[in-house]
Structure 1
Amino acid sequence: MRLKELRKQKNITQLKLAMDLNMNQNTISRYENGEREAGYRELILIADYFHVSLDYLLERSDDPTFYSEQT
């Protein structure tokens, strides 16, 4: 997951990200270190927070573009 990369690009600490997402800082650390995998709800929260696609967050694409269908 590109979480650490995205967080550092925005100059955000693990603690700030955790507080903004209503998570524990230790959880963010474990996601970044590969010690724990985020569930789909957490993945969506993180992708929305950084305005990137889930595929980009999960390193399935190099295109960070977030696509949203709006009517």
Structure 2
Amino acid sequence: MKYNERIREIREDHALTQQKVADLLHIGQRTYSDYESGKTRIPIDNIMILAKFYDISIDYITGASNIQQPYPKE
């Protein structure tokens, strides 16, 4: 699964709107929509914020792993 599909799946699993996640990342809703559609690549800093927020490993978010692991605490 590609990362853009994964971030949409995770967001929907948490019943969040694109606007809520965009607010978390301090970006516009349109920019976040572009991340999910694959039009724009999501910066690693934002992937890290999402990983911490959702408590899911970066490997899972990026599609490097299909196993949900918690975000490392240290």
TM-score bracket for this pair, using the shorter chain length: 0.7 to 0.9
Q: Which runs of 4+ in 1 moved over 6 A?
A: none
Which ranges of structure 1 fall in alignment gaps of 5 or more residues?
Answer: none
Q: 1:64, CA displacement in angstroms?
A: 1.5
- TM-score scaled to structure 2, two decimals? 0.84
Give the CA RMSD over aligned residues: 1.4
What residue number does 2:56 align with? 52
Q: Which has the larger radius of gyration?
A: 1
Taking a change above 3 Å as real, the CA distance of residues 67 and 44 of structure 1, as seen in their structure-2 partners, is closer
Taking a change above 3 Å as real, the CA distance of residues 7 and 58 of structure 1, as seen in their structure-2 partners, is same
Identical aligned residues as a percent: 29
Number of corresponding residues: 70
Which ranges of structure 2 fall in alignment gaps of 5 or more residues?
Answer: none
What residue number does 2:69 align with? 65
What residue number does 1:16 align with? 20
In 2, the alpha carbon distance for the partners of 1:66 and 1:40 equals 18
State the AA in 1 paired with 2:18: Q
Q: Which has the higher helix share?
A: 2
